[in-house]
A and B are shown apart, each in its own frame.
Chain A
């Protein structure tokens, strides 16, 4: 479904990605783990067209997307839950969800999907009129995921959804991701520093260091890999 071939991305003179190649197949959960500043967020921003790569190719369902503007990539079915959640603070929960469906014109379908997201995350249901900026961190994360789902994506990109959340909330969010994948067949590309949780729900994983992929394997194999255990799982 998604394929990166030798992707290199720069911020001015700084090279954040140094020839990344990876793939995500339909129906998979694939995770990318790495330390701070390794280039995880840059990978997602490159896919979404916000930080377009300077070299290499990104293919979505077989066609190149690395030259397309961000809005075109969303319209093809790629939605992102960005790092730091990025909820529109002065918009209500409902408006935030509706913004996720910005490119859709089927108003009735959008209204139905708002209800579906509220079923998926019941805490959001009671807070429909509350301003996004006043939600707790966990609620904001759920809203960010809900907003991405509103685009009816075929590929869901998530950037560290566990960041700064309590263990209970993290478990709940990861369970929801797994449920989306199993029940709706949602393809998920998940970026995490919380390697343990991520590898537990993922089918496959990659490890990135300083803009280069260093490991790629089945999630279970990575969980047992000595380098991964040492660097990301605390021993």
Chain B
């Protein structure tokens, strides 16, 4: 039983990271029906920025949580700038082009960013400092979950609650929902749709950056390719939950994380990806629009 719980908590941790990144895919898709293939690269770049910043801070005598916070904030700002620029440079000029064009542009940006980091850094894995704080727990919990996992779970949960609040109740959130439901009408009520799209990319990038810092620190090493794998998994989670649906992205991430953890724990970690994609295929056969996806809206 303890083993099962331990696997579940591990799966939840992993899944919460997938969810965080999946939200970026799903928010962008919801608004402009584009699969932003370069999203995983934003996550990877944020991890690199955090690595560089924490190295500089360590040399200058900073310690402990202050490094984590400063590195995370700078990584988030960088990622936001990258997300904003990405949309301006690679997608906005193609807003009225056939749908295949921005998709190709997205793949191009993904390859470009990967290779740019490859050249600027190194193809090898670089060690990532342990930024997440270590602490002791009371016993019933201590052998089920580590402090790093707990930090990840808490940070991702708080982040997602914050996002939910933002989308439900703020002016920007309402503008995002209106733009998603009917872009022309959004313009007719006075929403600056271009700005909403930019901010959606920024928001998705911020979430990816939080994920990048957490995972870098948790796994202890990063290279230029981590964004690709994380992107594939998060994209799977988004499709699993129903692309375009925000609760769907969270649910999809959790389902994917749990599936992988249980498959790895009871069968073999060599097969975790097989099970992950098996679940994806199964769910898409049963529910083609994903777990929480809506059937395509018919225009009145």
Contacts and interface: CB of A to CB of B under 8 A. Distances in A.
B174 A70 contact: no
Interface residues on B, range: 10 to 19
B213 to A, nearest CB: 33
Interface string A65-105: 00001110011000110101111111100010011101100
A99 B300 CA distance: 19
A204 interface: no
Contacts of B299: 84
Contacts of A48: 187-188
A86 B185 contact: yes
B175 interface: yes
B181 A71 contact: no
Interface residues of A, number: 30
B184 A75 contact: no
Contacts of A70: 187-188, 190
A102 B184 contact: no
A151 interface: yes
A140 B300 contact: yes
A147 interface: yes
Contacts of B182: 86, 88-89
A103 B300 contact: no
B190 A89 contact: no
Interface string B178-213: 100110110111111000000000000000000000
Contacts of A80: 188
Interface string B261-299: 000000000000000000000000000000000000101
B189 A151 contact: yes
Given A95-B174, A99-B174, A140-B300, A88 B181 contact: yes
Given A90-B177, A99-B178, A82 B188 contact: yes
A50 interface: yes
B150 to A, nearest CB: 35
B300 A85 contact: yes
A90 B300 contact: no
Q: Majority SS of interface residues in chain B?
A: helix
B177 A89 contact: no
A82 B184 contact: yes
Contacts of A88: 177-178, 181-182, 185
Given A95-B174, A99-B174, A89 B297 contact: yes
B190 A50 contact: no
A69 B181 contact: no
Nearest to B182: A86
Given A71-B192, A74-B190, A82 B300 contact: no
Contacts of A50: 184, 187-188
B185 A82 contact: yes
B240 to A, nearest CB: 21
A80 B187 CA distance: 10
A84 B188 contact: no
A147 B189 contact: yes
A78 to B, nearest CB: 10
Given A88-B182, A91-B181, A102 B174 contact: yes
A102 B181 contact: no
Contact of B190 (A98, A103, A133, A140): A103
A126 B187 CA distance: 28
A89 B188 contact: no
Interface in B155-192: 171, 174-175, 177-178, 181-182, 184-185, 187-192
12 contacts: A48-B188, A70-B188, A71-B187, A71-B190, A75-B190, A84-B299, A86-B184, A86-B185, A89-B297, A90-B181, A147-B189, A151-B190
The 7 nearest A-B residue pairs measured at CB: A74-B190, A86-B185, A70-B187, A103-B190, A71-B190, A88-B181, A102-B189
Given A50-B188, A75-B190, A90-B181, 11 more contacts: A70-B188, A79-B188, A88-B185, A91-B181, A95-B174, A99-B174, A99-B189, A102-B174, A102-B175, A102-B191, A147-B189
